[in-house]
Amino acid sequence: MQTRKLGTSNLEVSALGLGCMGMSFGYGPPADEAEMIKLIHAAVSLGITFFDTAEVYGPFLNETLVGKALSPIKNQVVIATKFGFAFDENGKQTGLSSHPESIKRVAEASLKRLNIEAIDLFYQHRVDPAVPIEDVAGTVKDLIQQGKVKHFGLSEAGVKTIRRAHAVQPVTALQSEYSIWWREPEAEILPTLEELGIGFVPFSPLGKGFLTGKIDESTPFAPTDFRNTVPRFAPEARTANRAFVALLESIAQRHNATPAQIALAWVLAQKPWMVPIPGTTKLHRLEENVASTNVQLTPADLAEIDTASAQLTVHGNRYSDAAQRMIDR
């Protein structure tokens, strides 16, 4: 497994990370903890050193899982987690909260759940319009000076927010959705990151599973799977969006690869400071994803993908209306 540096920071990680959310949250009931610990250990054995979690995944279950799995080798890996949501007394997520006291409280709780001495990369999960980003960046700067956090990150933040935050505390990485069927960051976000020396961590590089080619209009989801609320996964949208899978399949045939591997190889080919974090709960998918780092797309392949995808229209929004309102642009 090759490594990459996130922007101009000294944070070096495996070229492919592992998004751990789906092990505990988002795609149905939590998976078996012992099985997921084995999966995380398998990821380490395959060369993955970059693991992504958040307090809201569960809530709290995923951080605990990641902490248990990686505790024996915590000094050999990079663990990213996130703050920025509020919860009621029953642990139900109730909205956004990035007030300084909340950030400090989350940091302490995350350190305990992850069983680590310092958080390698601490993202603001969603921009809180009620709290100036300068206050957020300043609070994380204090935590860095105290040795509780090593690097500051943002998630789904717009250009103005990134610049304002970076002026207070250098931002190591931005995490946002990016894939062959969601290329909005290319317009303004990626040029800004390159200018400022900030790394990019694309989540959902496989389109929340759709770009694997294993989902069609009749594929059932668990009742608690959040894709049930996503317009892009309505049956009619899935039918229309199969054109993206067909494009990946045509390239995959030439490389003796899978559509998922081409989708990941495409992201990896965009910039050397990008580190996608596909998630999975299955060992064979993990192995498939890791093998994508050996797929070398040619300039002709990349040009073909660009030309063909420019002719395609994605059907359906990538989030529900409520989730969409939390995106800072």
Answer for the pair 201, 275: CB distance below 8 angstroms, yes or no. Answer: yes
The predicted pLDDT at position 248 comes to 98
The predicted pLDDT at position 21 comes to 98
Pick from 2, 3, 7, 57: which is nearest to 175 by CA?
7
> Hey, what are 241's tokens?
């969006």
What DSSP character marks residue 279?
B
Does residue 165 sit in helix, strand or coil? helix
Query: 27 catalytic, yes or no?
Result: no
Pick from 300, 295, 305: which is nearest to 2 by CA?
295
Instruction: Quote the CA–CA distance of 143 and 120 in Å, as a whole number.
Output: 12
The predicted pLDDT at position 236 comes to 97
- Which amino acid, 79? I
Q: Mind listing the pLDDT tens digit of every residue in the chain (329 residues)?
A: 999 999 999 999 999 999 999 999 999 999 999 999 999 999 999 999 999 999 999 999 999 999 999 999 999 999 999 999 999 988 899 999 999 999 999 999 999 999 999 999 999 999 999 999 999 999 999 999 999 999 999 999 999 999 999 999 999 999 999 999 999 999 999 999 999 999 999 999 999 999 999 999 999 999 999 999 999 999 999 999 999 999 999 999 999 999 999 999 999 999 999 999 999 999 999 999 999 999 999 999 999 999 999 999 999 999 999 999 999 97
**Cα→Cα distances 96→22, 126, 131, 174, 307, Å:** 21, 7, 10, 18, 39
The predicted pLDDT at position 179 comes to 98
Catalytically annotated residue among 57, 123, 178, 319: 57
Q: Using the structure block, give the residue that is written with the tokens 């505790």.
A: 71
Residues 6+ apart with CB under 8 A from 71: 115
User: Of all helices (H) and strands (E), which one includes residue 306?
Assistant: helix 299-310
Ordered by where they begin, the domains of the chain are 3-324 (3.20.20.100)
The predicted pLDDT at position 329 comes to 78
Instruction: Quote the CA–CA distance of 135 and 237 in Å, as a whole number.
Output: 41
Answer for the pair 159, 192: CB distance below 8 angstroms, yes or no. Answer: yes
Pick from 214, 205, 225: which is nearest to 277 by CA?
205
